[in-house]
């Protein structure tokens, strides 16, 4: 049987459960509630890190280690998600992920032990890692014909949650007695995110699944590199952009506002980008636009970071936000480059777990180069080079093809003496 032409959307598989419109509405609410939790635990800690460090008597080394935990945990915990999906329904896994996330945030907000704080933060980030991997598959399963739109909506919700936690954690801490309240308040949101999934937890039947060996796929490696490089840029600028503007002559408050401008400009981009990608069989034009915006922003920051001219600083921030539209673009491409829900989970796991290892290098390398040179030319040159490589890899993942098809060809080519397989799916 001939495979479907690559210009057409891949089959998405059955929805999580055959439910009426009201049930689908609950799933959409669940997707958005999970999304709003996927960065709040990180940015709330970032906003209150000086107070947490003082309260727990953290050394600078310990505080620095805590800031690297997200990327490391996303890489480590994301790898367990395919094994979970072979044993449990996806909604049940999401309930567990949100429970672990909420419990981790709650316990770390009351402990006086540095070790327990790190352990519970790690558990919370593990819950986020599982949610990161599963949401693209949930969207494709439940909304196969509107996956681009729903991906955009949940990505915008994720960014909004990021900004809200960053902006509100300090005021909450001031209003309710300290940093513990500022961190613990977000645990309640995690527990609320569990509720829409209870009715879906064990409905329907589970199909027998085989392990997909994603590491044999060139597409998967290209997706991982692209995801990793765009995340590298995101983490590096999140950690250092405010310092760049301070060094350019802006006040700390103005630098903070300029940093907040990245998610502000990024929300409409996040909404539109997956839908734009989904309308194109080969979205190479979007790859080039995103890379060009990122490169222009880095050049502007290096050559004319502002020096008190707010209009230029805002322009570089807006271009940076457009360039970081590569994040929702990458999420959309994960859903578009696999034919089955199992394939989406496997590709999402590999791309994000491997990608976040690459991303963890961003803040570290930028910090080392900044300390070594005392300026931003070399760090921005490093980020610019990463953006160029990201563009090249992006052109590879833009070519219309599917993970399962590539792996099936690998199986046939690696076993030429055997007769052709009688089914199109890859085997372990």
C-alpha closest to that of 293 among 162, 389, 160, 384: 384
Q: How is residue 58 written in tokens?
A: 């953290």
Number of domains in the chain: 2
pLDDT at 327: 92
Judge whether residue 414 has pLDDT over 50: no
Would residue 338 count as lying in a domain? yes
CATH of the domain at 254: 1.20.1250.20
Judge whether residue 376 has pLDDT over 80: yes
Q: How far from the centroid of its chain's Cα atoms is residue 25's Cα? A: 24
Judge whether residue 319 has pLDDT over 90: yes
Judge whether residue 6 has pLDDT over 80: no
Residue ranges making up the domain that contains 184: 14-208
- Per-residue confidence band for 87, with pLDDT thresholds at 50, 70 and 90: confident
Q: How large is the average pLDDT for residues 412-416?
A: 48
The more confident residue out of 24 and 175 is 175
How far is it, in rounded angstroms, from Cα 227 to Cα 282?
A: 18
From the CB of residue 385, how many other CB atoms can be counted at a distance below 10 Å?
A: 13
Three-state DSSP at 376 gives: coil
How far is it, in rounded angstroms, from Cα 200 to Cα 304?
A: 53
Please report the DSSP string for 43-83 in residue order: HHHHHHHHHHHHHHT--HHHHHHHHHHHHHHHHHHGGGHHH
Q: Are residues 311 and 407 in the same domain?
A: yes
- Select from 176, 208, 240 the last residue of a domain: 208
Would residue 425 count as lying in a domain? no
Q: Are residues 223 and 175 in the same domain?
A: no
pTM comes to 0.76
**CA gyration radius for the chain?**
22
* Vertex 121: Cα angle to 120 and 124 (nearest 5): 85
Please report the DSSP string for 170-218 in residue order: HHHHHHTTSHHHHHHHHHHHHHHHHGGGGGGTT-S-PPP-----GGG-H
Instruction: Give, in order, the Cα–Cα distances in Å from 83 to each of 86, 211, 247.
Output: 5, 8, 47
Number of Cα atoms under 13 Å in the Cβ half of residue 409:
9
pLDDT at 19: 46
Judge whether residue 318 has pLDDT over 90: yes
- Select from 171, 188, 208 the last residue of a domain: 208
Would residue 424 count as lying in a domain? no
Judge whether residue 13 has pLDDT over 70: no
Judge whether residue 185 has pLDDT over 60: yes
From the CB of residue 313, how many other CB atoms can be counted at a distance below 10 Å?
A: 26
Number of Cα atoms under 13 Å in the Cβ half of residue 383:
37
pLDDT digits 0-9 by tens, 239-262: 788 788 878 888 877 887 788 888
Spell out the residues 6+ positions from residue 257 whose beta carbon is closer than 8 angstroms to its own. none
- Four-residue CA torsion sign, 43, 46, 52, 58: positive
Q: Are residues 165 and 263 in the same domain?
A: no
**Structural contact between residues 284 and 292, judged by C-beta atoms closer than 8 angstroms:** no
């Amino acid at each position: 049987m001939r495979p479907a032409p690559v210009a057409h959307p891949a089959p998405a598989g059955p929805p999580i459960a055959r439910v009426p419109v009201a049930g689908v509405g609950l799933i959409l609410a669940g997707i958005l509630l999970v999304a709003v939790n996927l960065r709040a635990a990180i940015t709330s800690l970032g906003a209150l890190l000086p107070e947490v460090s003082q309260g727990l008597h953290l050394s600078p080394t310990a505080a620095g280690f805590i800031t690297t935990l997200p990327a490391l945990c996303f890489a480590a915990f994301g790898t367990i998600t395919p094994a979970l999906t072979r044993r449990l329904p996806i909604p049940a896994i999401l309930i567990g992920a949100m429970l672990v996330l909420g419990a981790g945030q709650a316990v770390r907000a009351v402990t006086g032990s540095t070790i327990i704080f790190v352990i519970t933060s790690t558990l919370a980030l593990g819950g986020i890692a599982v949610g990161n991997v599963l949401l693209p598959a949930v969207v494709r399963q439940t909304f196969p014909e509107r996956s681009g739109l729903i991906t955009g909506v949940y990505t915008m919700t994720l960014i909004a949650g990021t900004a809200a936690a960053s902006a509100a954690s300090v005021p909450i801490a001031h209003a309710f007695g300290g940093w513990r309240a500022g961190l613990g308040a977000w645990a309640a949101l995690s527990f609320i995110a569990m509720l829409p999934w209870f009715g879906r937890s064990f409905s329907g039947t589970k199909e027998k699944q085989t392990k997909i060996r994603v590491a044999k796929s060139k597409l998967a490696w290209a997706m991982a590199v692209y995801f990793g490089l765009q995340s590298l840029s995101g983490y590096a600028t999140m950690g250092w952009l405010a310092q760049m503007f301070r060094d350019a002559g802006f006040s700390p408050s103005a630098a903070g506002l300029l940093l907040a401008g990245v998610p502000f400009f990024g929300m409409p981009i996040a909404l539109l980008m997956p839908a734009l990608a989904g309308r194109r069989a080969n979205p190479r034009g979007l790859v080039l636009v995103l890379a060009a915006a990122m490169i222009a922003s880095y050049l502007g920051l290096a050559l004319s970071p502002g020096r008190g001219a707010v209009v230029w600083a805002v322009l570089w921030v807006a271009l940076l936000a457009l360039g970081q539209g590569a994040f929702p673009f990458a999420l959309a491409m994960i859903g578009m480059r696999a034919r089955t829900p199992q394939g989406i989970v496997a590709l999402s796991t590999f791309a994000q777990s491997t990608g976040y290892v690459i991303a963890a290098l961003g803040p570290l390398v930028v910090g080392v180069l900044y300390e070594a040179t005392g300026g931003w030319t070399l760090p921005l040159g490093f980020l610019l080079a990463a953006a160029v490589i990201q563009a090249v890899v992006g052109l590879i993942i833009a070519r219309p093809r599917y993970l399962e098809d590539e792996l099936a060809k690998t199986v046939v080519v690696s076993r030429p003496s055997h007769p052709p397989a009688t089914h199109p799916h890859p085997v372990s």
